Amino acid sequence: MDNKFVYLFSEGNAEMKNLLGGKGANLAEMTNLGIPVPQGFTITTEACTKYYEDGEVISNVIVEQIMQALAKTEEITGKKFGDFNNPLLVSVRSGARASMPGMMDTILNLGLNDKTVEGVAKLTGNERFAYDSYRRFIQMFSDVAIDIEKRKFENILEEIKELKGVQYDTELDSEDLKKVVQRYKELFLKEMGKEFPQDPKEQLMDAVKAVFKSWNNPRAIVYRRLNDIPSSWGTAVNVQSMVFGNMGDNSGTGVAFTRDPATGEKIIFGEYLINAQGEDVVAGIRTPQPITKLEKELPECYREFMSIANRLEAHYKDMQDMEFTIEQGKLYFLQTRNGKRTAPAALKIAVNLVEEGVLTKEEALLKVEPKQLDTLLHPAFDADELKKAVPIAKGLPASPGAACGKVYFTAQDAKEKHEKGEKVVLVRLETSPEDIEGMVAAEGILTGRGGMTSHAAVVARGMGTCCVAGCGEIKIDEENKVFIANGVTYKEGDYISLDGSTGNVYGTAIKTVAPEITGYFGTFMAWADEIRKLKVRTNADTPRDAKQAIGFGAEGIGLCRTEHMFFDEARIPAVREMIVSENEEQRRKALAKLLPMQREDFIGIYEVMEYRPVTIRFLDPPLHEFLPTEEEDIQDLAKEMGISFEHLKSTIESLHEFNPMMGHRGCRLTVSYPEIAEMQTRAVIEAAIKVKKDKGYNIVPEIMIPLVGEVKELKYVKDIVVKTANEIIASEGIDLKYLVGTMIEIPRAALTADDIAKEAEFFSFGTNDLTQMTFGFSRDDAGKFLNSYYEKNIYESDPFQKLDQTGVGKLVEMAVKLGKSARENIKLGICGEHGGDPSSVEFCHNVGLNYVSCSPFRVPIARLAAAQAQIRNPR
Amino acid sequence: MDNKFVYLFSEGNAEMKNLLGGKGANLAEMTNLGIPVPQGFTITTEACTKYYEDGEVISNVIVEQIMQALAKTEEITGKKFGDFNNPLLVSVRSGARASMPGMMDTILNLGLNDKTVEGVAKLTGNERFAYDSYRRFIQMFSDVAIDIEKRKFENILEEIKELKGVQYDTELDSEDLKKVVQRYKELFLKEMGKEFPQDPKEQLMDAVKAVFKSWNNPRAIVYRRLNDIPSSWGTAVNVQSMVFGNMGDNSGTGVAFTRDPATGEKIIFGEYLINAQGEDVVAGIRTPQPITKLEKELPECYREFMSIANRLEAHYKDMQDMEFTIEQGKLYFLQTRNGKRTAPAALKIAVNLVEEGVLTKEEALLKVEPKQLDTLLHPAFDADELKKAVPIAKGLPASPGAACGKVYFTAQDAKEKHEKGEKVVLVRLETSPEDIEGMVAAEGILTGRGGMTSHAAVVARGMGTCCVAGCGEIKIDEENKVFIANGVTYKEGDYISLDGSTGNVYGTAIKTVAPEITGYFGTFMAWADEIRKLKVRTNADTPRDAKQAIGFGAEGIGLCRTEHMFFDEARIPAVREMIVSENEEQRRKALAKLLPMQREDFIGIYEVMEYRPVTIRFLDPPLHEFLPTEEEDIQDLAKEMGISFEHLKSTIESLHEFNPMMGHRGCRLTVSYPEIAEMQTRAVIEAAIKVKKDKGYNIVPEIMIPLVGEVKELKYVKDIVVKTANEIIASEGIDLKYLVGTMIEIPRAALTADDIAKEAEFFSFGTNDLTQMTFGFSRDDAGKFLNSYYEKNIYESDPFQKLDQTGVGKLVEMAVKLGKSARENIKLGICGEHGGDPSSVEFCHNVGLNYVSCSPFRVPIARLAAAQAQIRNPR
Give B54 to chain A, closest Cα distance, Å: 15
The mean of the pLDDT values for chain A is 92
The single-letter code of the amino acid at B748 is R
Interface of B with A in 629-658 (CB under 8 A): 657-658
Contact between A782 and A773 (Cβ < 8 Å): no
Integer CA distances (angstroms), B676 to A683, B384, B453, B666, in order: 55, 55, 28, 11
Give A399 to chain B, closest Cα distance, Å: 23
DSSP structure string for B52-97: HHTTS---HHHHHHHHHHHHHHHHHHT-BTT-SSSB--EEEEEEES
Contact between A795 and A230 (Cβ < 8 Å): no
The 8-class DSSP code of residue B806 comes to T
Q: What is the pLDDT of residue A529?
A: 97
Helix axis angle, A645-654 relative to A631-641, nearest 10°? 120
- Cβ–Cβ below 8 Å for B748 and A668: no
Partners of residue B91 on adjacent β-strands: B240
Give the helix/strand (H/E) hosting B253.
Answer: strand B252-257
- Cβ–Cβ below 8 Å for B751 and A780: no
CATH code, A441? 3.50.30.10
Q: What is the pLDDT of residue B472?
A: 84
Q: Judge whether A457 lies within some domain.
A: yes
Tally of structural domains, chain B: 4
- Cβ–Cβ below 8 Å for A658 and B778: yes
- Given the residues B831, B844, B845, B854, the one annotated as active site: B831
When CB atoms are compared, the residue of B671, B773, B794 closest to A776 is B773
How many other C-beta atoms can be found within 10 angstroms of the C-beta atom of residue A559?
Answer: 27
Interface test with B, best of A769, A771, A777, A800 (most B CBs within 10 A): A777
Q: What is the pLDDT of residue B282?
A: 56
The torsion of the CA quartet B257, B261, B262, B267, rounded to 10 degrees, works out to 50
When CB atoms are compared, the residue of A755, A778, A807 closest to B659 is A778
B559 and B499 co-located in one domain: no
Q: Judge whether A65 lies within some domain.
A: no
- A796-810, B118-132, B822-836 — which is least confidently predicted? B118-132
Mean pLDDT (whole number) for A341-364: 94
| Active-site residue, B647 included | no
Give Cβ neighbours of residue A726 (< 8 Å, ≥ 6 apart): none
Helix (H, G, I), strand (E, B) or coil at A763: strand
Given CB atoms, is A232 within the 8 Å cutoff of chain B?
Answer: no
How far is CA A21 from its chain centroid?
22
Residue ending a domain, among B324, B341, B358, is: B341
Pairing type for strands B235-241 and B40-43 reads: antiparallel
Using an 8 Å CB-CB cutoff, list chain B residues near A709. Answer: 774-777, 807
Contact between B402 and B500 (Cβ < 8 Å): yes
Compute the distance between CA of residue A425 and CA of residue A444 in angstroms, rounded to an integer. Answer: 5
Given CB atoms, is B52 within the 8 Å cutoff of chain A?
Answer: no
Partners of residue A7 on adjacent β-strands: A42
Does the annotation place A617 within a ligand binding site? yes
Query: A438, A494, A429: which is closest to A465 by C-alpha?
Result: A438
A463 and A544 co-located in one domain: no
Mean pLDDT (whole number) for B300-305: 96
B812 and B663 co-located in one domain: yes
The torsion of the CA quartet A208, A211, A213, A217, rounded to 10 degrees, works out to 170
Integer CA distances (angstroms), B727 to B279, B512, B720, B736, in order: 78, 54, 11, 12
B825 and B704 co-located in one domain: yes
A780 and A671 co-located in one domain: yes
DSSP structure string for A291-354: GGGHHHHSHHHHHHHHHHHHHHHHHHTS-EEEEEEEETTEEEEEEEEEPP--HHHHHHHHHHHH
- Cβ–Cβ below 8 Å for B807 and A776: no
Compute the distance between CA of residue A775 and CA of residue B659 in angstroms, rounded to an integer. Answer: 13
Q: Band the pLDDT of A83: cuts 50, 70, 90.
A: very high
Q: Judge whether B812 lies within some domain.
A: yes
Integer CA distances (angstroms), A800 to A452, A503, A665, A804, in order: 8, 18, 21, 8
> Over the stretch A579-598, which tens digit does the pLDDT of each residue have?
999 899 999 999 999 999 99
- Cβ–Cβ below 8 Å for A668 and B752: no
When CB atoms are compared, the residue of B657, B716, B773 closest to A792 is B716
Give A768 to chain B, closest Cα distance, Å: 13
Q: Band the pLDDT of A453: cuts 50, 70, 90.
A: low
B701 and B787 co-located in one domain: yes
Compute the distance between CA of residue B325 and CA of residue B275 in angstroms, rounded to an integer. Answer: 10
Of the two residues B180 and A2, the one the predictor is more confident about is B180
Compute the distance between CA of residue A601 and CA of residue A494 in angstroms, rounded to an integer. Answer: 36
DSSP structure string for B100-152: -TTTS-EEEEET--TTHHHHHHHHHT-HHHHHHHHHHHHHHHIIIII---HHH
B713 and B677 co-located in one domain: yes
Does the annotation place A766 within a ligand binding site? yes
Using an 8 Å CB-CB cutoff, list chain B residues near A745. Answer: 776
When CB atoms are compared, the residue of A671, A773, A795 closest to B747 is A773
The mean of the pLDDT values for chain B is 92
Contact between B830 and B815 (Cβ < 8 Å): no
User: If you average pLDDT over each of A641-650, B140-149, B588-597, which comes out highest?
Assistant: B588-597
Compute the distance between CA of residue A732 and CA of residue A735 in angstroms, rounded to an integer. Answer: 9
Give the helix/strand (H/E) hosting A468.
Answer: strand A466-469
- Cβ–Cβ below 8 Å for A748 and B710: no
CATH code, A693? 3.20.20.60
Give B650 to chain A, closest Cα distance, Å: 13
Q: Judge whether B578 lies within some domain.
A: yes
Q: What is the pLDDT of residue B450?
A: 75
Mean pLDDT (whole number) for A482-506: 93
Q: Judge whether B822 lies within some domain.
A: yes
Binding-site residue ranges of B for substrate: 561, 617, 745, 766-769
> Over the stretch B424-453, which tens digit does the pLDDT of each residue have?
999 999 888 778 888 988 999 999 987 776
pTM for the structure as a whole: 0.85
Compute the distance between CA of residue B65 and CA of residue B71 in angstroms, rounded to an integer. Answer: 10
User: If you average pLDDT over each of A157-166, A369-378, A613-622, which comes out highest?
Assistant: A613-622
Q: What is the pLDDT of residue B437?
A: 81
A581 and A667 co-located in one domain: yes
When CB atoms are compared, the residue of B755, B769, B785 closest to A671 is B785
Q: Judge whether B152 lies within some domain.
A: no
Q: Does pLDDT of A517 surpass 90?
A: no
Q: What is the pLDDT of residue B283?
A: 54
Q: Does pLDDT of A414 surpass 60?
A: yes
Which residues of A carry out catalysis? Answer: 455, 831
Q: Does pLDDT of B284 surpass 70?
A: no
A750 and A632 co-located in one domain: no
Using an 8 Å CB-CB cutoff, list chain A residues near B808. Answer: 748
If you compute the radius of gyration of chain B from its CA atoms, what whole number of angstroms results? 32
Query: Long-range pairs for A362-367 at CB < 8 Å and ≥24 separation?
Result: A362/A531, A362/A871, A363/A317, A364/A524, A364/A527, A365/A524, A365/A527, A365/A528, A365/A531, A365/A864, A365/A867, A365/A868, A365/A871, A366/A868, A366/A871, A366/A872, A367/A318
Residue ending a domain, among B295, B322, B341, is: B341
B602 and B644 co-located in one domain: no
Helix axis angle, A200-214 relative to A60-77, nearest 10°? 120
DSSP structure string for A533-548: -SEEEEE-SSHHHHHH
Does the annotation place A252 within a ligand binding site? no
User: If you average pLDDT over each of A387-391, A502-506, B412-416, B716-720, which comes out highest?
Assistant: B716-720
Of the two residues B144 and B268, the one the predictor is more confident about is B268
- Cβ–Cβ below 8 Å for B709 and A776: yes
Helix axis angle, B572-580 relative to B631-641, nearest 10°? 90
Binding-site residue ranges of B for Mg(2+): 745, 769
Q: What is the pLDDT of residue B833?
A: 85
Q: What is the pLDDT of residue A309?
A: 97
Given CB atoms, is B672 within the 8 Å cutoff of chain A?
Answer: yes
Given CB atoms, is A530 within the 8 Å cutoff of chain B?
Answer: no
B432 and B448 co-located in one domain: yes
Pairing type for strands A739-744 and A762-765 reads: parallel
Give Cβ neighbours of residue A846 (< 8 Å, ≥ 6 apart): A869, A873, A875
Taking CA–CA distances from B790, the nearest residue in chain A reads: A671
| Active-site residue, B834 included | no
Q: What is the pLDDT of residue B1?
A: 45
- Given the residues B378, B455, B624, B845, the one annotated as active site: B455
Given CB atoms, is A543 within the 8 Å cutoff of chain B?
Answer: no
Q: Band the pLDDT of A473: cuts 50, 70, 90.
A: confident
- Cβ–Cβ below 8 Å for B781 and A658: yes
- Cβ–Cβ below 8 Å for B746 and A657: no
CATH code, B332? 3.30.470.20
> Over the stretch B158-206, which tens digit does the pLDDT of each residue have?
999 999 998 877 788 999 999 999 999 999 999 999 999 999 999 999 9
Residue ending a domain, among B458, B481, B513, is: B513
Contact between A428 and A408 (Cβ < 8 Å): no
Measured in degrees and rounded to the nearest 5, phi and psi for residue A218 equal: -55, -40
Contact between A302 and A282 (Cβ < 8 Å): no
Q: Judge whether A182 lies within some domain.
A: no
Q: What is the pLDDT of residue A780?
A: 83
SS3 content of chain B, % helix, strand, coil (to 5): 50, 15, 30
Q: What is the pLDDT of residue A150?
A: 84
Dihedral over Cα of A723, A728, A733, A737: its sign: negative
Interface of B with A in 808-847 (CB under 8 A): 808, 810-811
- A68-82, A536-550, B280-294, B707-721 — which is least confidently predicted? B280-294
When CB atoms are compared, the residue of B671, B746, B788 closest to A776 is B746
Using an 8 Å CB-CB cutoff, list chain B residues near A793. Answer: 712
Interface of B with A in 705-764 (CB under 8 A): 707, 709-710, 712-713, 716, 745-748, 751-752, 755
Domain that holds residue A646: 623-656
Q: Ramachandran region of residue A511, left (φ > 0), alpha (ψ -120 to 50) or beta?
A: beta
Give A816 to chain B, closest Cα distance, Å: 16
Given CB atoms, is A429 within the 8 Å cutoff of chain B?
Answer: no
Q: Band the pLDDT of A1: cuts 50, 70, 90.
A: very low
Interface of B with A in 783-802 (CB under 8 A): 784-785, 788-789, 792-795
Of the two residues A867 and A269, the one the predictor is more confident about is A867
Annotate A248-304 with three-state secondary structure: CCCCEEEEEECCCCCCCCCCCEEEEEECCCHHHHHHCCCCCEEHHHHHHHCHHHHHH
Q: What is the pLDDT of residue B280?
A: 66
Given CB atoms, is B702 within the 8 Å cutoff of chain A?
Answer: no
- Cβ–Cβ below 8 Å for B663 and A775: no
B563 and B679 co-located in one domain: yes
Q: Does pLDDT of B88 surpass 70?
A: yes
Given CB atoms, is B697 within the 8 Å cutoff of chain A?
Answer: no
Q: Judge whether B294 lies within some domain.
A: yes
